[in-house]
Amino acid sequence: MILFYKKAIQDIRDNGFLNAVTIITISLSVLIVSALALFFVNANDIMSSWKKGISIMAYLKTDIGETALPEIKNKIQGMYGVAEVEFISKEEAMKRLKEQMKGHSSLLADLQENPLPDAFEVRLLTSSADSKKVENLAVQIEAMPSVEKAEYGRRWLGRFTNVFDLFKFTGYAMVGIFFMAAVFIVANTIRLVIYSRQDEIEIMRLVGATDRFIKTPFYIEGLIQGAIGGIIGLAALFVAFMLIALNVEQVSSSGIFQIRFLSPGVLCGIMLCSIFVGWLGCYISLKQFLKYKTG
Partner 1 sequence: MIDGNDKNSIIRMFHVHKQYGAKKALIDINFDVSKNEFLFITGPSGAGKSTLLKLLYFGEPVSEGQILIDGMNLSRISRNRTPFLRRKFGIIFQDYKLIPTKTVFDNVALVLEAMGKKRQLIQKKVNSVLRMVGMEERSKSFPQSLSGGEQQRVAVARAVVGVPRIILADEPTGSLDSESANVIVDLLKGFHTRGGTVIVATHDKELLRKTGSRIIHLKEGRQIK
Residues that bind partner 1 (CB under 8 A): 3, 14, 199-200, 202-211, 213, 294-295
Whichever of 6 and 104 has its CB closer to partner 1, that residue is 6
Provide, rounded to whole angstroms, the least separation between the CB of residue 207 and partner 1: 5
CB 122 within 8 A of CB 56: yes
Whichever of 203 and 239 has its CB closer to partner 1, that residue is 203
Whichever of 178 and 218 has its CB closer to partner 1, that residue is 218
Provide, rounded to whole angstroms, the least separation between the CB of residue 286 and partner 1: 15
Provide, rounded to whole angstroms, the least separation between the CB of residue 10 and partner 1: 9
Residue whose C-alpha is closest to residue 276's, from 227, 214, 231: 227
Provide, rounded to whole angstroms, the least separation between the CB of residue 21 and partner 1: 20
Contacts of 202 (CB under 8 A, 6+ apart): 293
Q: How far apart are CA 132 and CA 150, in angstroms?
A: 15
Whichever of 3 and 174 has its CB closer to partner 1, that residue is 3
Provide, rounded to whole angstroms, the least separation between the CB of residue 198 and partner 1: 11
Whichever of 265 and 292 has its CB closer to partner 1, that residue is 292
Residue 203 CA: distances (Å) to CA of 103, 192, 198, 208, 295:
91, 18, 9, 9, 13
Residue 104 CA: distances (Å) to CA of 95, 96, 101, 108, 116:
13, 13, 5, 8, 18
Q: How far apart are CA 161 and CA 192, in angstroms?
A: 46
Whichever of 202 and 249 has its CB closer to partner 1, that residue is 202
Total residue length of the chain: 295
To the nearest 10°, the Cα dihedral for 62, 68, 71, 73?
A: 40
- Kindly state the helix (H) or strand (E) to which residue 56 belongs, with its residue range: strand 55-60
How much of the chain is in helix, strand and coil states, percent to nearest 5? Answer: 75, 10, 20
Provide, rounded to whole angstroms, the least separation between the CB of residue 203 and partner 1: 5
